[in-house]
Structures are given as C-alpha cells and as structure tokens.
Structure 1
C-alpha cells in the first residue's frame, strides 16, 4: 500500500520537514516538502501527491485556506497538523475538506497509524464513479445557480462567477438535482459519491455536505436548499429546470 505513494509535507518548520521526510522515506514513501502555500502550489503543479500533511499555522495563506484551495479541484487525502488539540480547529479543518487531523507533538507511530487509516479509506472507496453524460441535460438551473454538465462548472447566475467542482462534489450535487424534494439517506449519498456504503464512524458525508452548503451559500441554522431530515437523511429543497442539448 505504501510503495511508490507520494506524500507532500507542508510545514514552515525546517526541522519538522526534515524529520518527517527522513522518517517517511524509511517507511517506504516518496516525500516532497514545502515551507508555505506558494511552495505547496508549485509542488502540486509538478506532481500529484497521494496524501498531504498540512500544517495549519503557516506564513501567508494558512492551512485552512490551502485546504480549501486544494478541495476546489482535488480529492487528495489531507491530514491537518495542529499545534494544539483545539476542537474548533479540528471541526473547521474537517468542514473545509480535511480527512483527519493530528496534534503536535505526535509520535511517528501515531502519525503512521493515521496515514494508513486515511489511505485505507481512500483505497476501499475505489475510483470515483463515472458519471455518464448520456441522458443528462446541458445544464441544471436551480435557485441562483447553473450547473454545466459538460464542464462540471457551477455558475452563480447573479454574479456570473464560475467555480470548479471536484468529482465527488459534482456527483453529490448531481444526485440532489436528479432527485429534488426527495429524502436521500446517507448510504445513497455515499454510494453516489464514493461507490460504496458509508461506515458508521465515517464523517465524509457530513464534511462533503458542509462543503457543498458553503459553496451554495446555504449556511447557518436555517438551510434553504439542503435540509436535514433528522433520522432519515437529506432533502434538496429547490425547483429544478433544465437546459437541453442542441
């Protein structure tokens, strides 16, 4: 599982970067490092990491901002490195798309266990389901949004701004748009976005729903679009129309 896996370590502390690079290399990983967001983005244009260890406290863009940046285009697993075991930092990181977190100082064994657990989850979920373009309209229209099914771009009709979506976020929104005003349980959502049923302890559905709500501006206690039906699942509360293909 570890052989040939590439880990990107992002931390402004040179000693920590060097220690992690030495340890992870001995464990069979390939390792690249970055001291800040600029270097991280540069590394990601050169290679595609299989996992990112991302420190929260960084000069310039912090780990939260960088996690959000990565999640716009990639589902690569991210483990946040926190200086203190702060519950709010952990919650924010998970809601922005991180897969796990670990508080400093941590033991090498603890880090390795977390990394293996995250990579097992990714492996068991398999490749993202292929969303067939057949029988799909050119675009879905709902609320103030337009989802283009060819480019998978989400456009705010009011501002004309467009946003790229990851495969799993696009699959989730497409599921809701295909079945509006219908209660969908967690297993249905997880299977549509990950290709399998959810495990009881997994928070991936919660994290992904939070991320989609944030993108749609559907935040706060009174969600308008994605409603939680306690004990049953989630309901997409919107009138949906379509643009047909030529």
Structure 2
C-alpha cells in the first residue's frame, strides 16, 4: 500500500504516542494535532488522506471539528470516543464522520478501519457503468459520470457515500434493500461500522432532495429501504 497520510487530533499525548509508534510500522505518515482548531489548520497545510478526531478536546471538540471539516473537504473521518453510547456514535455520523472507534482501542483495528475506508473510496464510481446514464426519474436526474444530481431543476451537492447509496438504490427502482445489503454494496464487506450508518445517510439524502414534490427513498418497515418516485 502506498504511503498514507493520516491526521490525528487528540489532546492525550499517550494516545498520540501509541498511534505514532504503530503507524510508523505500517507505512502511514502521521500528522498530529492537540485539538480541533489545530486540526482545521493542518487540513489546509497537510491535505491528509484520512482524519481521526477525538471527541473530547479543548479549544474545539471533535464534533465541531468534524462539522468544520465537512464544510470544505470530503476527507474520510473516524471519530474516537471514550463513551460507548449510541448518541455519540449517531451524532458523529450525522455530522459527516465515516466511522467511529471507542476507546480503549487496538491500534491494529484502527489501521484496519483506515485501510478499509480508503480501499472503498475509488472503485465506487466504476460500479455503475453497466446501467443507463443519466438515471432520470421525472424531476430527478442522476448523472453517473459527473456524479451530479439535479432535483426539481436545481443541482444538489452530495457527499460521496450519499451519492453511491442513492445510485445503488436508483439502479433498481422498487427493489427492497436491507441495511446489511446496502452496507455490503456501498461500504464493502470489510466495513466495521454498524447498520445505523445507513439510517443516517438516508436521512441526509432525503434532506437534500426535499425540494422534490415526492419521496424518493421509502422505508420498508422491518426490512430496509427502496427507491421510487411515487407520491
């Protein structure tokens, strides 16, 4: 694997040292920050391939740093939290994080998650070449080559995984997908997160398409979701 640059923001020097020692053996170039504010500054300067944010930090916590990063960058983000609570996990995902790791964590697991996410970033644009392009549904158009969505005559910006998830369902209108199926199809078999990730991304997709006069993503209770433009 080519050298990967990872920005780690954590105010605990012991955590930074443990990560540094392990990353040095894994062909990972480490950039460290002591708080969220410094992490934002280093994003511009270092252009990392991945960002790891501790939730509890001075100056600017991990949640706020995640929110600020998402305003300018689509760089994958993993949240570090000492609280094994659903609220923290879901909040991080809603703010744009791609995964989370609960402290105390194994450095080996952290590296595995980094590599799993990075492996899944590039191939997804090629996974839709066997269908018509663009996908058109009344007032919704999805251009697969340009990775653009136009809803009710307006271009709508999507994050990469949101776009991939929308396309995966739009390729098979009316088909019902379980959360587990969507995780495998969009994130890959080696994704470590939980199925709640799908719910968070579906919520974001619905919000971005709220100008349409109809629902596109429908909940199939007890199973998952399906795509369709019926009212």
Contact 1:73/1:164 (8 A) holds in 2: no
| Match status 1:162 vs 2:156 | yes
Q: Of the candidates 18, 23, 26, which is equivalent to residue 21 of structure 2? A: 26
Report the aligned-residue RMSD: 4.0
Paired positions, count = 218
CA distance in 2: counterparts of 1:154 and 1:38, whole angstroms: 33
Query: Which stretches of structure 1, 4 residues or more, deviate above 6 A after TM superposition?
Result: none
- CA shift, 1:10, in A, is 1.7
Contact 1:71/1:97 (8 A) holds in 2: no
Aligned positions of 1:93-172 closer than 5 A? 93-95=92-94, 96-103=96-103, 106=104, 110-119=105-114, 121-122=116-117, 127-129=122-124, 130=126, 131-132=128-129, 135-137=132-134, 140-141=136-137, 146-155=141-150, 157=152, 160=154, 162-166=156-160, 168-172=161-165
CA distance in 2: counterparts of 1:147 and 1:236, whole angstroms: 13
CA distance in 2: counterparts of 1:147 and 1:126, whole angstroms: 19
Q: Of the candidates 197, 202, 205, which is equivalent to residue 207 of structure 1? A: 197
Aligned positions of 1:1-246 closer than 5 A? 4-11=3-10, 13=11, 16=12, 18-27=13-22, 28=24, 29-58=28-57, 62-68=61-67, 69-70=69-70, 74=74, 76=76, 78-82=77-81, 84-95=83-94, 96-103=96-103, 106=104, 110-119=105-114, 121-122=116-117, 127-129=122-124, 130=126, 131-132=128-129, 135-137=132-134, 140-141=136-137, 146-155=141-150, 157=152, 160=154, 162-166=156-160, 168-186=161-179, 188-194=181-187, 196-197=188-189, 202-203=193-194, 206-217=196-207, 224-230=215-221, 232-239=223-230
CA distance in 1: counterparts of 2:115 and 2:148, whole angstroms: 30
- CA shift, 1:56, in A, is 2.3
How high is the TM-score relative to the length of structure 2? 0.68
How high is the TM-score relative to the length of structure 1? 0.65
Which structure 1 segments of 5+ residues have no match?
241-246
Which structure 2 segments of 5+ residues have no match?
none
- CA shift, 1:38, in A, is 4.8
Contact 1:7/1:32 (8 A) holds in 2: yes
CA distance in 1: counterparts of 2:200 and 2:155, whole angstroms: 21
What secondary structure sits across from 1:9 in the alignment?
Answer: strand
CA distance in 2: counterparts of 1:128 and 1:198, whole angstroms: 14
